Amino acid sequence: MPVLLQSILRYGLLLAALAPLAYYVLSALAAWRFFRRECARTLPDFTSPVSLLKPVRGVDFASYENFSSFCRQDYPDYELLFVVNEMTDPAVPLIERLQAEFPQRSIRIFSGAAPLGANRKISNLCRIVPEARHEILVLSDGDVRVGPRYLREVVAPFADPRTGLVTCFYRGIAQGNLFAELEAVGAASDFFAGVLMAGLLEGLTFALGATMVTTKSWIVRIGGLETIADLHSDDYELGHRIFLQGGRIVLSREPVWTMYPAQSFRGYVDHQVRWARTVRLCRPLSYAGLLFTHGLPWAVAAALVAPTRAVAAGYLGAYLLLRLTQAWVVGVWVVGDEVLRRRLWLVPLRDAGNFFIWLWSFASNRIVWGETEFEIRKDRMAPIREPAGATPPSRKSE
């Protein structure tokens, strides 16, 4: 290879390797901007009655604490509607315990949803939306835990009639397992940075699945939840369709907690690949652009071609300094994630694995969800391998 071409390629790579470093700085600034704005904001005194809808399937290591947190809200008027696939679900005794321990709360259980599509969670929500007594609907996964002011925070933006949907960041509670902690660290330090950057550059046009607050009227305007019952990314689709109808998507300053149960390496990889492929299919151009946010491989490549050891060390050191600073600002300072606070050192390890998952996500349109394998065809899930007696999971949607 001619010397001139070698030099062009070397310095081109060194220049490209600066892109992730710039991204880390910009996303930290986006987090600072969000934090400063939200700290200065005063909530309107708006506490309209609420119907809280919770599709659940099975239980995990903290299900009762999660369910009961919704019964301890500092809020004047709300009801809880749980929906399960069958009344034999292990979550049903916990919900009945809630009914006994919180008699002042209106708590109802439903089952028997008609299967409207591959996404069983949406079929279950379609079952209980008509049962809701109130206009404002709070959709929350079964593995979510909230603080006592949660409803006040997520409902207040609906004082503005332009608000179409409110969504939240989520902190992690991991079950003492490396792969559970890696998943929590990744969400807090990487995914939320991307959400904040999207909000900074184009405004928020989608929702995060742990919490989605909207109204019956907005659901009617998008054609009903039935229209997304076959889609893999119901949270993204619900938020995006409301946005396209003119609704404002609000990112609340009130994070919730979500559970990360212990899992195997295979389970971790399957979930990360599923998440990566669904993001790629929802936002293909943005997802391709994530190549320039993977700081570790770029820093290593730059170090390998650097003209001096000092330059090589500079790239590696800049990656560590800026990446860990960004992770702390976004995940610890803004979101308040305790797993990331304790396991900040896992960020480079997670980054290394995530780059290969990003590459692998382009290999096919197949995802594994629970025990079922699907292929995404024109944004819709088609089962291609399903064990006897299995049903698609509904507890988590991210």
pLDDT for position 392: 44
Catalogue all structural domains in the chain, each as residue range(s) with its CATH number: 1-398 (3.90.550.10)
Tell me which H or E stretch contains 204: none
Q: What are the pLDDT digits (tens) for 238-288?
A: 999 999 999 999 999 999 999 999 999 999 998 999 889 888 888 888 899
Strand partners, 138: 52, 213
Q: Which residues are paired to 214 by β-bridges?
A: 137
Per-residue tokens: 57: 């399937």
Q: What pLDDT does 391 receive?
A: 45
Whole-angstrom Cα distance, residue 315 to residue 330? 22
- What per-residue confidence (pLDDT) applies to 171? 95
What local confidence, expressed as pLDDT, does residue 386 receive? 52
Task: Calculate Rg over the CA atoms of the chain.
Answer: 22
Residue 260 near residue 184 (C-beta atoms within 8 A): yes
| Model pLDDT, residue 8 | 85
The model's pTM: 0.89
Give yes or no for a contact between 197 and 237, defined as CB atoms under 8 angstroms apart. no
Residues 369-389: tens digit of each pLDDT: 667 778 877 667 777 755 444
Question: Residues in the chain with pLDDT < 50?
Answer: 387-398
* CA distances in angstroms from 106 to 72, 78, 244, listed in the order given: 12, 7, 34
The structure tokens listed for 201 are: 């550059």
